[in-house]
Structure 1
Amino acid sequence: MRIGLLQCDDVAPELRRVHGNYPEMFAALFEKVEPSLEFRTWRCMDGEIPDDIDAVDAWMTTGSKHGVNDGLPWVEELSDFVRRLWRAGKPLVGICFGHQLMAKALGGEVVKSERGWGVGMSFNRVTTRAAWMEPWQPGLDLIVSHQDQVETLPPEAMVVGGSDFCPHYLMQIGEHFLGVQGHPEFSKAYSRDLMALRRERVGDERVREGMASLEAPVSDTLMARWIVNFLRSAMGGRGDGGR
């Protein structure tokens, strides 16, 4: 399966030497569950928006320090691309910023949450058991780093997992779009370093809570397996996109 990675940010330079950049994080995560995946990256934050929705079999969108409501030209162009994917029935998985981007691009609403920053581990209930959720477990606990949240779902979207802190955490739109607020590609070590880097913005108390939360097990490889299952289902069960 060929995956187009829509990269929407770079890891901060002071953390990149130790933890790598987003493409390396995604490759390392999915190597654990599906080594046959082939990734091709488009640097969307530099204005590199794909012009061919069929260049790959399926697409993924990374997180970003930017917000979907910032009015950046490349975000608007990427939103247009997301709508093209939607109309064509091409599979897309959105991570964090990508989750919010697909929601807004298709008519939902994204806001800066009054609950403040979500950092460290988030603990979520899976509220709907979809066929692609194998192996099954009723909770989905992933690392997060966000202020914005999906407030209003777009048409055809349903929440399949969430928490009191982030009710619209995991959503499926139609049969070929999947969005998750968490970061399965983040390691605990990267989360610690990112919280330390952003301490002044996030606040000491929230960082302390986030650091403590990292003692809990993380569902990163489970979410990666679910994503692969979802993409295969969205493609009709074929790993080669029918080619």
Structure 2
Amino acid sequence: MKNVLLLKAGEAAASVRLSVGDYDRWFLQTLGLSGYRFDVVPAFQGAKLPEDAAGYDAVLMSGSPLSVTRLEPWMERAARLMVDAAEKGVPVLGVCFGHQLLAYAYGGRVVRSPLGREIGTVQVDLTEHGRADPLFRGLPERLTVQATHEDIVPEPPAGTVVLAGNAHTAVQALAFRPCARGVQFHPEVQPDAMRALIQARAERLEAEATERGQPPGERVPRLLAGIAPTPNGRQILVNFLEHFT
């Protein structure tokens, strides 16, 4: 049994939680509980964090509607915990917000994407380093994954290696340390959750599209029609827990 510390960095909109559950549930459902024990800590609510990650086989941090560009004290505390774990050899995986917080903690920048929000089922391409990385073992060079984010890490922090990217976001995955990784996309999100996320943000998504000169009423139907299964996501999480721990 592997003990996993899951740092919850936020919560989904109420309509999303009612239909498909919240962020922590997505990780547990996608991975399954066989062989894993999860301690879910709502870090975003100011919950007391462990002094260190000793006793855990891995640390995960979820996504969040909050932004690293507007730092809060709990974010600084969580960043210190993740860096301390990584420097002591405890595997760490940051997802979306977690990826960005790790980048900040290792000296990088986090900014609003000049291309706007990336959301829906997208494709990312592994770099040469990504193709050799255990996080992506057994996976194709082009991955189909779910994504939803407005912030990005615009360039890799010093001492890190880019593992994946696409036309929207050049830094889609990073290797921070031998056992620390970050992914901008959401390997834990299944199609039903992505559908719920798009529907919950429909009005905002259409407004964003209109502001960028796109025809009104087209973006949300196109996003919903483009949702596809993303089995690569589960394999990435499994690879992290099986090959880094």
TM-score band, normalised by the shorter chain?
0.7 to 0.9
State the partner residue of 1:152: 155
Superposition pairs for residues 32-181 of structure 1, below 5 Å? Answer: 35-48=34-47, 49-128=49-128, 129-132=131-134, 133-181=136-184
1:192 matched to 2:202: no
Alpha-carbon offset, residue 102 of structure 1: 0.5
What residue ranges of structure 1 are gaps of 5+ in the alignment?
236-243
State the AA in 1 paired with 2:8. Answer: Q
Paired residues, number: 230
State the partner residue of 2:214: none
State the AA in 2 paired with 1:226. Answer: I
State the partner residue of 1:17: 18
Cα RMSD, aligned residues only: 1.8
Instruction: Find the partner of 1:212 among 200, 225, 234.
Output: 225
1:28 matched to 2:29: yes
Is the CA contact (8 Å cut-off) linking 1:94 and 1:178 kept in structure 2?
yes
Alpha-carbon offset, residue 131 of structure 1: 4.5
Taking structure 2 as the reference length, what is the TM-score of the superposition?
0.87
Q: Deviations over 1:173-225 (max 9, x none)?
A: 221111111112222222122112212332254434422321x442xx33332
How far apart, in 1, do the equivalents of 2:120 and 2:26 lie? 17
Q: Deviations over 1:80-108 (max 9, x none)?
A: 21221232222101111011111111111
Q: Deviations over 1:1-53 (max 9, x none)?
A: 2110000112222221221122211111011xx72111111110111222231
How far apart, in 1, do the equivalents of 2:243 and 2:172 lie? 21
- 2:51 match: secondary structure: coil
Q: Deviations over 1:60-80 (max 9, x none)?
A: 000000001112111121122
Alpha-carbon offset, residue 141 of structure 1: 1.4
Identity %: 29
Seen in structure 2, the aligned counterparts of structure 1 residues 156 and 231 have a Cα distance that, compared at 3 Å, is: farther
- 2:110 match: secondary structure: strand
How far apart, in 1, do the equivalents of 2:157 and 2:86 lie? 12
State the AA in 1 paired with 2:224. Answer: M
- 1:152 match: secondary structure: coil
What residue ranges of structure 2 are gaps of 5+ in the alignment?
210-218
How far apart, in 2, do the equivalents of 1:136 and 1:14 lie? 33
